[in-house]
Structure 1
Amino acid sequence: MKKIVLIIGLVASSFGMTSCSNDFLDDPKATDLVNEQVAFGSKEAITAVMAGIIRQSRSQYTNVDTANLGSIFFTRSLKGNDLIQANNWFGSDYEQINREPTYRRTLFSWQFPYELASRFTLFIEGVKASKADMTEEERNAFLAQGYAYRAYMYFQLSLEFQQTYSFNPDAPAPPIYTESGSLEGKPMSTMKQLYAFILSDLDKAVSLGSEDRIDKSYMNKEVAYALQAQVYQVMGDWPKAEAAAHNAYGGNALAVLNAGQYGNGFNEMNNDDWLFASPQSDEQSAYYYTAIFAFTDFTTTSYRTTYVNTDFVNLFSNTDVRRLFTKMPQTDWRSYTTTKFKFNFGSDIPLIRYPEMILIEAEAMLNNGKTAQAHDLLYALQKNRDAAAVKSTNTGAALLEEILVERRKELYGENGVEWYDAKRLRRGITRSANHRTPVSLTPDDKRFVLKVPQAEIDANPNIDESVNNGK
């Protein structure tokens, strides 16, 4: 019988190893290599375990292009029309050909979220069983972090391994693991089941969570609301998306926007408009594995391989603080680069920023028939970024297009927003002729989906070759 060692086997012993228990308790540091009794024996120890899992999410997983959460987001960014990648580490992703079941991209995008999700399941179980001296509120805050992070990982799986939710809620989706301990693989779920599981975890994170956190690499109630907003946005549940996005940024757009910080290199998580981040430091750096910086910055000793489409550059007015482009001597697809991201080994990576929540709420308002409110909210962001901005008079489809363009201008390079929007809205992506590889995606194109890894098929008795039929 096949046994699933790919997903669960790698993490089942995460808290089962004994390693310097007394040292761990005396001086808690980020780790997950201690026995379960020690790992969950005190609030300090539980915090250190969470820190260890978070560190894994930002570290050097397998390779430069398959390293961490930033690698997943940067891969999506390169699949659109706005950025252009030279033939380097992410070249195959840019060319839309890196999706076969034996490829490193496919294996990483499956294995990495599952491994982290499994660790968070172990974390949730450990906190529930812990006999540590803590209040109910403190225990709930720990649990909320575990639920939110686990939902976040499963959401990434849903985005990569099936078409968007509205394509077919009954379509096969990645398996769901709700408890640790089993080494046998689960069958595929459906998108409906997977999203119900994700939302169940996020509901718990919101109800149990606290506003407090150590720093912006930890999840709190605000981040859980933001994740709800993203999930409801994909599902097209606009009343809930509006409410969640509003709660995530607090409802006062100007209080969470700082145009003066936009051009500072985009590598400091304490910036006012950053909600959730993956921090780096000289002592715990991912070095050149911080893809967003190492591949876009042309002012340091980075890879210098990512260019900006001239058509995208032309969307920015000269007074927009986000117009951070450099004209290159070439006149082909290498015409422009960006100075948005400044590379150093301590560059923090943005994962969710408040402007995304503002724009989700504006899109939701439009879909909920609140056109005037959508205008006001969109203009608040536009005016903050561009002193010469003029308030929109668009309505309907034209206003939606304006919001989507604003999302691209605000979030380019960060989280694959252009690919994300094209996929969820089932629009496809049309690349202009000035690309190195001008390949386009039709609506619901198969290339929006990665195939289930062959290693999973080989290991899991409940998944066979047919899972990739039609992909």
Structure 2
Amino acid sequence: MKKIILIIGVVASSLGMTSCSNDFLDEPTATDMVSEQVAFGSREGITAVMAGIIRQSRGQYTNVDTANLGSIFFTRSLKGNDLIQSNNWFGSDYEQINREPTYRRTLFTWQFPYELASRFTLFIEGVQKSTADITEEERNAFLAQGYAYRAFYYFQLGLEFQQTYTYDPNLPAPPIYKEGGSLEGRPMSTMKEFYEFILSDLQKAVDLGSEDRIDKSYMNKEVAYALQAQVYQVMGNWAKAEVAAHNAYGGDPADVLNAGQYGGGFNDMDNDEWIFASPQSDDQSAYYYTAIFPFTDFTTTGYRTTYVNSNFVNLFSNTDVRKLFTKMPQNDWRSYTTTKFKFNFGSDVPIIRTPEMILIEAEAMLQQGRDADAHTLLYALQKNRDAAAVKSTNTGAALREEILVERRKELYGENGVEWFDAKRLRRGITRSSNHRTVVNLTPDDKRFVLKIPQAEIDANPNIDESVNIGK
């Protein structure tokens, strides 16, 4: 009988009775070296468990291109039209051919989120059972972080392993594991069930969460709202996407935007505009595994393999603070690079920023027929980025295109926004002829979807080869 050793088995003993040392509390470390009593016996212990799980999310999981959360986001960024990758790490992702069930990309993108989500399930259960001397408010804040993180990683799975939610909510989706410690594989769910589970966790995170946190690598109520906004955006629930995005950044662009920090290298989570981040430090660095930084920064000793489409460069005015491009000697697909991201071993990685929330709110307003409100909000961002910006006369479909272009200009290289928008809106991606490899994706193209890993099929008695038919 097949057992699911791939996902849950890796983490089932992560809170095992292997040590009772209080040394664990002195320095947050991985959670597989302490007993449950020590791990959840105090506020400090619970905090250390959380720190250890977060640390795993930004480390060196398997390889340079399959290292951490940044690897997933950077892969998405390279599947669009705006960035061009040389034939190096991530080259197969750029060429849209890295999706077969036995490939490292597919296995990592399945296993990594599941492993992190499973650790957070164990964390939630540990906090619920804890007899630590903590207040109800503290317990709820810990639980809220666990629910938000688990929802976040399930959301990544949903984005990768099936067509977008609005394509067909009844399509098969990855299995759902609500309890920790199980070694038995679960059957595939449906997209409807999958997103209901995500939204349930996020609502708990909002209801129980606190505004306080240690730093921006930890979840709080603000981050939970931001995640709700992203999920509702994918689902096309525009009324709820608007409210969540508004709550995530506070509702006043002037309070949260700081154009003066835009050219600082995008490597410091203390930036005013960052909501959620993956920090690095010299003593706990992923080094060259931080995806976007060593691949785009041509001024340091990184890989220097990612270029910027000249057509995308031309979308920026000369007075836009985001026009951070360098003209190279070549006059082909290598014509431009970007200085947006400054690489060093302590470069923090942005995950969610306030401009994304502003643009989600603007899109949601437009989708609900409030063109004027959407245009005003969009222009507030544009004027902040470019003092010479002139408000367009666009309405309706043209205004929506302007918002989508602004999302690309604001977020390129960070989270795969171009791929994300093309998939959720079922638009496809058309590359210009100046790419190293011209690969076009039609709306709902199967290449938007990764196949279920063969290792999962082999291990899970409830999933067989038919799961990849048609993919």
Q: TM-score, normalised by structure 2?
A: 0.99
- Secondary structure at 2:207's aligned position in 1? helix
1:7 is matched with: 7
What amino acid is aligned across from residue 36 of structure 1 in structure 2? E
Contact 2:13 2:181 in 1 (8 A): no
4+ residue segments displaced more than 4 Å = none
Match of 2:320 in 1: 320
Aligned to 2:242: 242
Could you tell me the percent identity over the aligned residues? 85
| Counterpart in the other structure of 2:295 | 295
* Aligned residue in 1 for 2:357: 357
Given that 1:144 and 1:209 are in contact with CA atoms closer than 8 Å, whether structure 2 keeps it comes out as yes
Counterpart position of 1:199: 199
The residue that corresponds to 2:182 in the other structure is 182
Cα deviations by residue, 1:265-291 (Å, 9 ceiling, x for unpaired): 110000000000000000000000001
SS in structure 2 at match of 1:16 = coil
The unaligned stretches of length 5 or more in structure 1 are: none
Report the counterpart of residue 103 of structure 1 in structure 2. Answer: 103
Distance of 2:220 and 2:195 partners within structure 1: 21
**Contact 1:245–1:357 (Cα < 8 Å) also in 2:** yes
Name the residue aligned to 1:282. Answer: 282
| Structure 2: gaps spanning 5 or more residues | none
CA distance in 1, matches of 2:117, 2:28: 21
Determine the C-alpha separation between the residues in 1 that align with 2:11 and 2:17: 11
Structure 2 counterpart of 1:344, one-letter code: N
**What amino acid maps onto 2:234 in structure 1?**
V
Shift of 1:28: 4.5
Alpha-carbon shift at residue 182 of structure 1 (Å): 1.5
Indicate the SS of the match to 1:5: coil
Question: Which deviates more, 158-167 or 388-397?
Answer: 388-397
Match of 1:136 in 2: 136
1:30 alignment partner AA: T
- 2-structure distance, mates of 1:103, 1:180: 27
Partner of 2:442: 442
2:31 matched to 1:32? yes
| Structure 1 residue aligned with 2:122 | 122
Query: In structure 2, what is the Cα distance between the partners aligned to 1:382 and 1:349?
Result: 24
Deviations 1:313-372, CA, capped at 9 Å, x for gaps: 000000000000000000010000000000000000000000000000000000111111
**1:18 Cα offset (Å):** 2.1
**1:375–1:393 CA contact under 8 A, matched in 2:** no
TM-superposed CA distance for 1:241, in Å, is 0.1
Q: Deviations over 1:49-83 (max 9, x none)?
A: 00000000000000000000000000000000000
Aligned to 1:343: 343
**SS of 2:7 mapped into structure 1:** helix
Q: Which residue of 2 aligns with 1:308?
A: 308
Q: Is the 8 A contact 2:9 2:181 kept in 1?
A: no
* Higher mean C-alpha displacement, 15-24 vs 152-161: 15-24
1:93 corresponds to:
93
| Aligned counterparts, 1:450-465, within 5 A | 450-465=450-465
Checking the alignment, whether the CA contact within 8 Å between 1:279 and 1:347 is kept in structure 2 is: yes
Secondary structure (helix, strand or coil) at the match of 1:201 reads helix
Task: Provide the C-alpha distance between the structure 1 equivalents of 2:24 and 2:416, rounded to a whole number of angstroms.
Answer: 39
Deviation at 1:24, TM superposition (A): 2.1
Q: What amino acid is the match of 1:54?
A: I
- 1:22 Cα deviation (Å)? 2.5
Structure 1 residue 20: deviation in Å? 5.3
> How many angstroms apart in 2 are the aligned matches of 1:392 and 1:236?
25
| Residues 82, 312 of structure 2: 8 Å contact kept | yes
Paired residue secondary structure (1:262) = helix
The 8 Å contact of residues 20 and 35 in structure 2, kept in 1 or not, is answered as no
CA distance in 2 between counterparts of 1:393 and 1:20 reads: 66
Q: Which residue is equivalent to 2:231?
A: 231
Per the TM alignment, residue 251 of structure 1 is displaced from its structure 2 partner at its CA by: 0.3
Contact 1:28–1:44 (CA under 8 A) maintained in structure 2: no
CA distance in 1 between partners of 2:220 and 2:172 (Å): 31
Residue number in structure 2 paired with 1:375: 375
- Could you tell me whether the CA contact under 8 Å between 2:172 and 2:190 is conserved in 1? yes
In the alignment, the residues of structure 2 paired with residue 266 and residue 196 of structure 1 have an alpha-carbon distance, to the nearest angstrom, of 34
Instruction: Find the aligned partners of 1:31 and 1:91 in 2 and give their Cα distance.
Output: 32
Give me the whole-angstrom Cα distance separating, in 2, the residues matched to 1:86 and 1:20.
49
TM-score after normalising by structure 1? 0.99
Deviation at 1:37? Answer: 1.1
Q: Is the 8 Å Cα contact of residues 88 and 305 (structure 1) preserved in structure 2?
A: yes
Q: How many residue pairs end up in the alignment? A: 470
- The AA in structure 2 aligned to 1:32 is T
CA-atom RMSD in angstroms: 0.7
Is the counterpart of residue 467 in structure 1 residue 434 in structure 2? no
Deviation at 1:254, TM superposition (A): 1.2
Provide the rounded CA distance (Å) in 2 between the counterparts of 1:53 and 1:300. Answer: 30
Query: Would the alpha carbon gap of residues 132 and 386 (structure 1) be closer, same or farther in structure 2, given more than 3 Å must change?
Result: same
SS at match of 2:350: strand
Residue identity matched to 1:260: G
Distance in 2 (alpha carbons) for counterparts of 1:255 and 1:126: 38
How far apart in 2 are the matches of 1:48 and 1:324?
39
* Structure 1 Cα separation of the partners of residues 103 and 24 of structure 2: 38
Shift, 1:11, TM fit: 0.1
Aligned equivalents of 2:457 and 2:427: distance in 1? 31
2:96 is paired with a residue whose SS is: coil
